């Protein structure tokens, strides 16, 4: 059997040389492809947590592909320090419990696919990537057994109410960014985002210190309460009426003069 495998390897190498291509799996990895050969020849061992892990770190991999070649034999797969942009195209891996994806370029996670493909996934490490919006983590709520998640080093962590939002979406989380999720955080998350399904949009658009639209309307109404124009404002109104170029402008200014509510844009 070994002689046959050696002969096949020699034939591939000869074919590669004939085409001017190096067929070695390390070269395939260097080109950024996650090929079946790369997966088959990658180091594997039991990690400190006792999980049987496949090591695919630092191979300049640009996209997730061909993971079916792992034959669902691993508790953990380490794809850290690559150039992956999207978390998708993962086959059915029922054994997988932990997925390491730190230090990539990930801007999108297909959470629904991940939940279907890896139904027993418990830990997902996305440290130092490019997830920027709260809505980017929505799909992770589909993973029913996800108890540990790290998003440290992603722009999304700077969003208002980031931690509460992720806790609200991922109901099973016990640890977020290596900090234990507390009962009072769950309660606050439910109060903040549990009222409606538009939580992500609200969290993305709300600016700290800025009044809500309803409050703004109330403030504007209060500002328009007649308090009587000052002498300077009366003069300004009369001058404006005299200089008005349309009947519409005249009517608007005369109404302001009669009501005592001075337009904000009136120059005095």
pLDDT of residue 228: 57
pLDDT top residue among 139 and 268: 139
Supply the pTM of this predicted model.
Answer: 0.64
Backbone angles phi, psi at 233, to 5 degrees: -70, -35
User: How far is Cα 43 from Cα 41, in angstroms, rounded to an integer?
Assistant: 7
pLDDT of residue 215: 42
Angle between helices 231-243 and 247-259 (to 10 degrees): 160
pLDDT of residue 196: 55
pLDDT of residue 64: 96
Lowest-confidence segment of 28-32, 67-71, 90-94, 185-189 by average pLDDT: 28-32
CA atoms within 13 A on the CB side of 266: 26
Q: 69 pLDDT exceeds 60?
A: yes
pLDDT of residue 48: 83
Backbone angles phi, psi at 216, to 5 degrees: -60, -40
User: How far is Cα 117 from Cα 65, in angstroms, rounded to an integer?
Assistant: 13
**Tokens describing residue 233:** 């404002």
For residue 86, give the 3-state DSSP assignment: strand
End-to-end Cα, the chain, rounded Å: 97
User: How far is Cα 14 from Cα 21, in angstroms, rounded to an integer?
Assistant: 9
pLDDT digits (tens, 9 = 90+) for 254-263: 777 666 666 6
User: How far is Cα 123 from Cα 145, in angstroms, rounded to an integer?
Assistant: 9
Backbone angles phi, psi at 224, to 5 degrees: -95, 0
The mean predicted confidence, pLDDT, of the chain is 78
Residue 8: strand pairing partners: none
Handedness of CA 160, 166, 167, 168 (dihedral sign): positive
Percentage helix, strand, coil for the chain under 3-state DSSP, each rounded to 5:
45, 10, 45
* Confidence grade of residue 10 (pLDDT, cut at 50, 70, 90): very low
pLDDT of residue 198: 53
**DSSP conformation class of 156:** G
Q: 145 pLDDT exceeds 90?
A: yes
For residue 201, give every residue at least 6 positions away whose Cβ sits within 8 Å of its Cβ, in sequence order, or none.
135
User: How far is Cα 167 from Cα 182, in angstroms, rounded to an integer?
Assistant: 10
pLDDT digits (tens, 9 = 90+) for 182-215: 999 999 999 999 865 555 555 554 444 444 444 4
pLDDT digits (tens, 9 = 90+) for 147-172: 999 999 999 999 999 999 999 999 99
The Cβ of residue 162 has, within 10 Å, a number of other Cβ atoms equal to 19
pLDDT top residue among 217 and 66: 66
**Tokens describing residue 223:** 């500002």
pLDDT of residue 88: 95
Q: 243 pLDDT exceeds 70?
A: no
For residue 195, give the 3-state DSSP assignment: coil
Share of residues in the chain with pLDDT > 90 (%) = 59
Q: 123 pLDDT exceeds 60?
A: yes
């Amino acid at each position: 059997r070994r002689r046959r495998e050696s002969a096949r390897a020699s034939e591939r190498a000869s074919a590669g040389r004939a085409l001017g291509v190096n067929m070695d799996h390390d070269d395939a990895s260097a080109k950024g492809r996650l090929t079946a050969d790369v997966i088959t020849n990658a180091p594997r061992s039991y990690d400190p947590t006792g999980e049987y892990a496949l090591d695919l770190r630092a191979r300049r991999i640009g996209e997730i592909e061909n993971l079916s070649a792992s034959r669902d034999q691993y508790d953990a797969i380490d794809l850290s320090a690559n150039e992956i942009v999207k978390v998708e195209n993962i086959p059915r891996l029922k054994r997988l419990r932990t997925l390491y994806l730190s230090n990539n370029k990930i801007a999108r996670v297909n959470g629904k696919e991940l939940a279907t493909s890896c139904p027993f996934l418990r830990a997902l490490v996305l440290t130092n990537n490019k997830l920027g919006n709260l809505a980017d983590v929505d799909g992770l709520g589909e993973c029913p057994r996800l108890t540990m998640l790290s998003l440290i080093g992603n722009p999304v962590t700077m969003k208002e109410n980031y931690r509460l939002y992720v806790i609200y979406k991922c109901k099973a989380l016990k640890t977020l960014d290596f900090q234990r999720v507390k009962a009072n955080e769950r309660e606050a998350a439910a109060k903040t985002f549990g009222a409606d399904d538009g939580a992500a949009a609200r969290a993305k658009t709300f600016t700290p210190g800025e009044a809500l639209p309803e409050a703004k309307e109330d403030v504007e109404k209060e500002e328009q309460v007649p308090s009587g124009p000052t002498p300077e404002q009366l003069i300004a109104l009369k001058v404006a009426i005299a200089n008005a170029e349309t009947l519409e402008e005249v009517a608007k200014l005369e109404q302001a003069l009669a009501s005592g509510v001075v337009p904000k844009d009136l120059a005095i």
